[in-house]
Amino acid sequence: MTHTARGEFVVSMKPLEFEGVDSESQLGRMSIDKTISGDLCGADRGQLLSAMTSTSGSAGYVAMERVSGVLDGRRGAFVLQHTGSMNRGAPSLLVTVVPDSGTEELVGLVGEFEIQVEEGKHSYEFSFRLSEQ
């Protein structure tokens, strides 16, 4: 059975050194720290890699975040994988649970994490299920 968790999060991102590339590469790396509230309560830490282009509004990023907390009354951790791009201003983003990354009471977790940003506030809708082992 698929469930939906909803809530908000506060995110802090800081630039990190991207080793082995020159300043003209347009590649970047950032740390991600989130505090999550709502149906999923907890925190996460991760890193993001980005690529800018010379075309305005076009870029791409990937990120991995380890979320620790309580989801639907179950404690544990899991990893979210981001794949995002902007094609001349048109965004595309897919954030999914890495298969078999769930721990403790979240073993078998699968799902898709949708992020919304409105007026600077971040919220989420997380469609998930716990598969049988």
Q: Which domains does the chain have, with CATH numbers?
A: 3-14+26-130 (2.40.350.10)
Rg, Å, the chain Cα set: 16
For 80-116, the three-class secondary structure string (H helix, E strand, C coil) is EEEEEEEECCEEEEEEEECCCCCCHHHCCEEEEEEEE
Q: What pLDDT score was predicted for residue 132?
A: 65
Closest CA to 45 of 32, 63, 60: 32
Residues 6+ apart with CB under 8 A from 62: 48, 49, 81, 82, 83, 84
* Cα distance between residue 80 and residue 18, in whole Å: 21
Q: Enter the tokens of residue 11.
A: 């995110």
pTM: 0.93
Give backbone dihedrals phi and psi of 58, rounded to 5 degrees, phi first.
Answer: -120, 130
Are 101 and 108 in contact by the 8 Å Cβ rule? The answer is no
Query: Measured at the alpha carbon of residue 29, what is the angle toward residues 81 and 97, in degrees to the nearest 5?
Result: 5
Q: Along the chain (133 residues), what's the average pLDDT of each consecutive run of 10 residues?
A: 96 95 90 98 98 95 98 97 96 97 98 96 97 65
Model pLDDT, residue 22: 86
Q: What's the pLDDT at 23?
A: 77
